[in-house]
Amino acid sequence: MAAVAAAGAVAGSAAGSAAGGAWADAALAADLLALDPAGLGGARLRGRPGPARDAWLARLGAGLPQGAPVRRIPAHIGEERLLGGLDLAATLRAGRPVTQKGLLAECDGGVAVLAMAERAGATVAAHLGMALDVGAVTLARDGVEARVPARLAVVALDEGAEDGEAAPPALVERLAFDLDLDRLRPAPVAPRDLAAARARLPGVTLPAPLMEALCAATVALGVASPRAALFALRAARALAALEGRMEAGEADAALAARLTLGPRATQAPAPPQEETPEEETPDDAPDDETPDPDARPDAPPPQEPPQETPEDAADDDGPDLDALTEMMIAAARAALPAGLLEGLRAGPAARGGGAGTAGALRKAATRGRPIGARAGRPEGGARLDLVETLRAAAPWQPLRRRAAPERLGVLVRREDFRIRRFKRPAETVTIFAVDASGSAAAQRLAEAKGAVELLLAESYVRRDRVALVTFRGAAAELALPATRALARAKRALAGLPGGGGTPLAAGIDAALAEAEAALRHGWTPTLVLLTDARGNVARDGAGGRPRAMAEAMAAAARVRSLGVGALLIDASPRANPDAGALAAAMGARYLALPRADAAMLSGAVRAAQAAD
């Protein structure tokens, strides 16, 4: 009963803290991280630069041990600066390999602040994750092999404002805290004696029942990573050390659950079911019941219940695992942002996914985000990376100097050449292929026009282009080349004709040609085919449904072979099996929308783009 009462009290205080003391929680997370940086891994700070983020970083820096390093790491840092390696200038002066430390090694015992973490590449995230896992950096590059300590914490500054923009999940999983500072206002929080807590922390213990309760709460909240439970255990011990205790208690564990498990929750646990009292049997009648007059007077008196031993009393007064688990869950639930709990209860189908359609990142030779260098020749517009070229040549100078002692300077050979590598987002093109034949042409064209205009209105921030292909009569035409210009699109869409036969194969061919042109430009195409799949005109203009459908299926197979993402919207009054078969041949998603409007069509396209 004591545990249950404590659960209610902690949940209530947690809710109050989440409502009015969010900054106090953030400041507490900074203190805990300063107390145990390597053990807690770090924190992700979500939000734009501002006073809250500056105040949080200042509090973290003030709480670290004297002289602990804090280094800022750019999101696009090169491996040689991150990990260390050959000191090029010193190597050329000395005539032998000379190594230098990287930023990770320089952060040993301190904190690495990853700027613009939402733009960090997989390579940077992998190196940071390895340092967090093993507390060291293993160097094996440029002819140098070394292992240097790197016990550190990482603070990831995540400024992602759109869906799909976020710090790498593999890195975030290794950070104990996930804080949203966007709408927080810094407030004075009394400093804590972290030096005394740091000396106390190694001896702080956590009782086994609390460990089990935190692990059970992790599972109940849908947190898949076991690291989250380990962070909760470490945070509970650190909280006890801050309060001057050598053993963590229930309040410490509940607060740790709120700070570490709440932001990670992916499901809302079902509330505990109230126990239904069992019906009493006649044998369980209360003792003060009126005695039976027919009972024998010489019947033996009822036996007294067995005396409770001290051990049994101790067991009854001890913590109940279910109650402790519910306490942890209640505390974590109180930390969920407003509106998120309803989304978790609705399940993943209701939440849906973001429609980030900025396009897949693609490698480019001449411009974009630098991602390092590779061996190659500076041809076809590729740029020579002079520093990396000299770095590749440096270890070979003693051998080359002996072979050509009369030559001066650095001896560089063709195999030393290093070419700069870039990566930039591929722009996205949505190609609408609209069946404008028959009696429903006007309605379908109106739907397509509305959807194109809706997508164009979003293209300025999502980098989308749209194109429109229509097919009717005996041929298909490109009514609107790929564009972002809203005024031009409206002019092209106005007054499109409709009616006639259904040259389905010609329409797919025209859309595929536009997709191939987009690929040649380096864009990412998505094909949206709006049709009732009742083709009756062949490529040569001849009528006949069997031949027209056979050619359409062959054209659909070409779409699949090209690997273009596609969506087929069945505009028939009822779902048409031929449309489903055509979608399967294209490798497209199939959607039956007999009475689709522009908003529904635009939403379906965004869902298809997000899935691709």
- The CATH code of the domain that includes 60 is 3.40.50.300
In a domain, residue 357? The reply is no
C-alpha distances in angstroms, 256 versus 10, 16, 110, 574? 11, 16, 22, 55
In a domain, residue 353? The reply is no
Q: 435 pairs with which residues across the strands? A: 471
Residue-wise pLDDT tens digits, 142-165: 667 778 899 999 999 998 766 567
Same-domain status, 208 and 252? yes
In a domain, residue 213? The reply is yes
Q: Measured at the alpha carbon of residue 560, what is the angle toward residues 555 and 561, in degrees to the nearest 5?
A: 95
Same-domain status, 204 and 331? yes
Give the burial string for 118-139 (b: 16+ CB within 10 Å, else e): bbbbeebbebbbbbbeeebbeb
Same-domain status, 418 and 464? no
Residue-wise pLDDT tens digits, 213-255: 899 888 888 888 899 999 999 999 999 999 999 999 999 999 9
Per the CB < 8 A criterion, the answer to whether 318 and 210 are in contact is no
Residue from 396, 466, 410, 394 nearest 86 by CA: 394
Per the CB < 8 A criterion, the answer to whether 380 and 75 are in contact is no
Per the CB < 8 A criterion, the answer to whether 463 and 609 are in contact is no
Residue from 76, 475, 532, 31 nearest 239 by CA: 31
Q: Domain of 83?
A: 42-175
Domain limit, last residue, from 423, 447, 474: 423
3-state secondary structure of 43: strand
> With the CA atoms of 393, 394, 398 and 399 taken in that order, what torsion angle do they form, in degrees rounded to the nearest 10?
-20
Residue from 507, 525, 529 nearest 516 by CA: 525
Q: What is the pLDDT of residue 607?
A: 64
Enumerate the H helices of 394-436 as residue ranges. Answer: 397-403
Strand boundaries in 89-221, DSSP class E: 99-101, 111-114, 136-141, 144-149, 153-158, 177-180
In a domain, residue 186? The reply is no
In a domain, residue 308? The reply is no
Domain limit, last residue, from 131, 150, 175: 175
Q: What is the CATH number of the domain that holds 488?
A: 3.40.50.410
Structure tokens at 11: 């949940």
Q: Measured at the alpha carbon of residue 600, what is the angle toward residues 595 and 602, in degrees to the nearest 5?
A: 130
Q: Give the Cβ contact number of residue 309 at 10 Å.
A: 9
In a domain, residue 403? The reply is yes
Q: What letter would DSSP give residue 383?
A: P
Residue from 591, 566, 588, 597 nearest 576 by CA: 591
Q: What is the pLDDT of residue 85?
A: 76
Q: What is the CATH number of the domain that holds 330?
A: 1.10.8.80
Q: What letter would DSSP give residue 414?
A: G
Same-domain status, 27 and 136? no
Structure tokens at 60: 């973290």
Phi-psi region of 369 (alpha: psi -120 to 50; beta: other; left: phi over 0): beta
Per the CB < 8 A criterion, the answer to whether 160 and 118 are in contact is yes
Per the CB < 8 A criterion, the answer to whether 164 and 462 are in contact is no
Q: 361 pairs with which residues across the strands? A: 425
Structure tokens at 595: 């009475």
Residue from 551, 467, 459, 473 nearest 516 by CA: 467
Same-domain status, 415 and 484? no
Q: What is the pLDDT of residue 358?
A: 41
Whole-number Å distance between alpha carbons of 397 and 38 = 40
In a domain, residue 295? The reply is no
Whole-number Å distance between alpha carbons of 138 and 127 = 10
Q: What is the pLDDT of residue 459?
A: 57
Per the CB < 8 A criterion, the answer to whether 176 and 234 are in contact is yes
Q: At what angle do helices 208-220 and 250-260 cross, to 10 degrees?
A: 30
Q: Measured at the alpha carbon of residue 190, what is the angle toward residues 184 and 194, in degrees to the nearest 5?
A: 110
User: How many structural domains is the chain composed of?
Assistant: 4
Same-domain status, 208 and 113? no
The stretches in the chain having pLDDT less than 70 are 1-20, 142-143, 161-164, 268-321, 324-325, 327-372, 380-381, 423-426, 439-463, 486, 489-490, 492-496, 593-612
Contacts of 46 (CB under 8 A, 6+ apart): 158, 160, 178, 179, 180, 181, 182
Per the CB < 8 A criterion, the answer to whether 360 and 37 are in contact is no
Same-domain status, 138 and 15? no
Length of the chain: 612
Whole-number Å distance between alpha carbons of 275 and 417 = 75
In a domain, residue 292? The reply is no
Same-domain status, 459 and 532? yes
Same-domain status, 64 and 100? yes
CA 273 to chain centre: 34
Same-domain status, 432 and 419? no
Domain limit, last residue, from 125, 150, 175: 175
Q: What is the pLDDT of residue 601?
A: 64
Same-domain status, 158 and 218? no
Same-domain status, 559 and 540? yes
